[in-house]
Amino acid sequence: MTGLPATGAGPEVSVDLLVIGAGPTGLYGAYYAGFRGMSVAVADALPEVGGQIAALYPEKFIYDVAGFPAVRGQDLVDRLAEQAGRWNPAYLLGHGVTRLDDTGRGIVATTDAGARITAGAVLVCGGIGNFIPRELPVGSEYLGRGLRYFVPRLNELAGQDVVVVGGGDSALDWALSLEPIASSVTLVHRRTRFRAHERTVEQVHASSVRVLTPFEVEKVSGDGSVSEVVVASSDGDRISLPAQSVVAALGFIADLGPIEQWGLELRRRRILVDPTMRSSRERVFAAGDIADHDGKVSLISIGFGEAALAVNHIAALLDPARSITPGHSSDA
């Protein structure tokens, strides 16, 4: 990937198409736009590509993607990023798009990290909106130095003492996935009951994962990076745990955020689109879970088709000499 700065004054970028959202639909849209000869930038508020899959269930198997009898979430994301990488899209990760302004001949998008992207058209693939992790009440100063909210690559935590905080499916899935490769895994949850699937809870209790309930993280400490976590129970018991990594899997807040201010017609908190995936605003299209139309079904595979449909119509919009019908890829 061609990474662009996520902080500071921000870059000035000019492309044919801006894809907002680096989840599966956005990544496939970036690939397909490159296939149709467009230059592409991809902006996402999250620091990693993959969207909801990477954030919530990177290690879970997905069974409804064409061509894959079963594929792990992160493996699918990695393959999509590799596919899109053929055309070298510019990635602006950690850049939430806050404004879309018309220029008469295109759109200028502004991000909360100071970037300005000029594009002939915009394809919004924002899933169900921005995913903001619920923060751990303590230890925020260790973010990026042992504290994390995502585990896109398990091997990064191999050989470490890991404390996983949370009681949902993501927390338990990560605890189970890390058990074979980490030095130790401790699961901390503030309630006695978990919100995860019963079978997953049984697997955790049958594993070597140390389960502490009802406990909460009281303190995170270390010299430069995390080395110790202190947890406390509701009755005052305290336990000091060695830890080089803390995975805070406390869930995410989904919010349409600035999208609601872009002058787009919305229905059911989604962007209403016509049969070409065009929104009510000129040069702005949408695909995937963020898009709504009659007969809508929210599946990854349908998102891929919607992205391809949108890109083909965008190609003709940007250059009327181009056909909407792309022909066979094997002939390219």
Q: Which residues are annotated as a binding site for FAD?
A: 25, 44, 52, 57, 97, 131, 289, 330
Q: Report the distance separating Cα 156 and Cα 162, nearest Å.
A: 11
By C-alpha distance, which of 287, 296, 301 is closest to 64?
Answer: 301
Q: Contact at 8 Å (CB) between 253 and 135?
A: no
Q: Contact at 8 Å (CB) between 113 and 13?
A: no
- The one-character DSSP state at 65 is S
Q: Report the distance separating Cα 180 and Cα 166, nearest Å.
A: 20
Q: Which two tokens stand for residue 312?
A: 């083909």
| Feature table: binding site | 25, 44, 52, 57, 97, 131, 289, 330
Q: Contact at 8 Å (CB) between 114 and 8?
A: yes
Residue corresponding to tokens 């007969």: 295
Residue 266 burial by Cβ neighbours in a 10 Å radius (0-12, 13-18, 19+): middle
Q: Report the distance separating Cα 291 and Cα 236, nearest Å.
A: 49
